[in-house]
Amino acid sequence: MNITVVGTGYVGLVAGACLAETGSQVVCADVDQAKIDGLKNNVLPIYEPGLDSLVERNQMQGRLTFTTDVAAAVASAEVVFIAVGTPPDEDGSADLRHVLAVAETIGKNQKRELVVVTKSTVPVGTAEKVQAAVALHAKLPFHVVSNPEFLKEGAAVDDFMKPDRVVLGVESDFARSVMAELYAPFVRTGKPIIFMDVPSAEMTKYAANAMLATRISFMNEIANLCEKVGANVDLVRKGLGSDARIGPSFLFPGPGYGGSCFPKDVKALMRTSDDVGAPMLVLQAVEEANNKQKHRLFAKLAAAMGASLRGCRVAVWGLAFKAQTDDMRESPALTLIEELLTAGATVVAHDPAAMREAERRLGKRVTFAPTNYEALNGADALVVVTDWNEYRFPDFARIKAALKKPVLIDGRNLYDPAKMQALGFTYRSLGRGRE
């Protein structure tokens, strides 16, 4: 099958490479010349485990190509995926300008009956707008499909190749047949392809992310309460997660959610709900709780130090919003670092994947260490923000020797409080009894 994916960001690049892996001829198109030049040389614009080898292999075998000629890529396609960005407007709504511009290009350049798939995260009603934008110029039949993605950053390749489910909003037998054939290789183990109407598919994506964001904020609120009443959130989490009605996923407390999806999608769903007169009060609380949570690590550090942070040197382990990605969008580390700098502290930071992105965002205001241990030299305290594997079992004697003061703020509950106390650390984590 000849497939074109317009947009080579996180969603488009993963989708294009994975579709090529099953034997389809895939063209990934993007107007960013520098990005396309890099991809042709197997230089990826994002860090995602396993994606680099997938891109290189499928390029080498001729199934995956990259171009800036969007019109030509559309003309050669049987299926076109729209996977361009939908950044939030100032009011929180999704900006659909890029999506609709691609839709017009599709209408102007289609050469056969075509399936047009919205893969970008878009609010309910977008497919109708895409339909209208394509129809302005189309002279041949076309079918608009909603196919939301459910990819976890850091595990996106596995999520695409072995999905829990594939959600497809379709309104014609032709589109249903084409999409069923396209996704058949990915659901051979029996995972479902769930066909539904287009608005329901669009809503499913937002509802899923909003639910996960809600679980995160709820658990962070429980952790904060545990500190007040002397409970241990680790035990509470196990008790909750063992309930089959709840399950164990997304119940780990932390410094707040970030990334490209949850913050943007929560805002967009809230905006949609307000526009139709059905405000989502739960999501208002979720967002407020998350914004407050991002300030918890600074507050814990200030309390542990017991004095002004002016002149202090603070080591920060972890800059990406989560492990296994270089994505720093809405990262809690950014909130912490800005608070530290405002308080007059100096910051030295490390991250296994996000250093280049951090330098672009923070410039020379922060010192970046080549290893996590080098970040400790001369520091007054350490704050762990991201739960990278290499931070999980560190050499605590080395940490203590390098720090001026044995102050460690654990934003991911990676370490055992009793052990840390026995080692002589001033240790603070989230929700594990009174501090």
> CB of 209 within 8 A of CB of 268?
no
Largest CA distance in the chain: 75
Token representation of residue 30 = 């993007």
Query: Rounded to whole angstroms, how far apart are CA atoms 268 and 290?
Result: 16
Token representation of residue 51 = 């994606």
> CB of 39 within 8 A of CB of 8?
yes
Alpha carbon distances (Å) from 377 to 31, 104, 174, 347, 420: 44, 56, 63, 12, 20
Residue 331's contacts (CB-CB under 8 Å, 6 or more residues apart) are: 258, 259, 319, 320, 321, 385
Query: Residue 169's beta-bridge partner residues?
Result: 146, 196
User: Alpha helix locations (H) across 260-316?
Assistant: 262-275, 281-293, 296-305
Amino acid at 392: R
**Strands (E) located in 37-157:** 64-67, 79-82, 114-118, 142-146
Of 398, 413, 407, which is closest to residue 425 (Cα–Cα)? 407
Sign of CA dihedral 63, 69, 70, 74: negative
> CB of 343 within 8 A of CB of 309?
yes
DSSP3 helix / strand / coil % (the chain, rounded to 5): 45, 15, 40
Query: Rounded to whole angstroms, how far apart are CA atoms 315 and 317?
Result: 7
> CB of 82 within 8 A of CB of 116?
yes
291-295 contact pairs (CB < 8 A, 24+): 291/256, 293/217, 293/220, 293/224, 293/254, 293/255, 293/256, 293/332, 294/255, 294/256, 294/332, 294/335, 294/336, 295/335, 295/339
Token representation of residue 430 = 């989230």
Point out the residues that are catalytic: 261
Q: How many Cα atoms occupy the beta-carbon half-sphere of 417 within 13 Å?
A: 14
Query: Rounded to whole angstroms, how far apart are CA atoms 387 and 413?
Result: 9
Residue 312's contacts (CB-CB under 8 Å, 6 or more residues apart) are: 305, 344, 345, 346, 380, 381
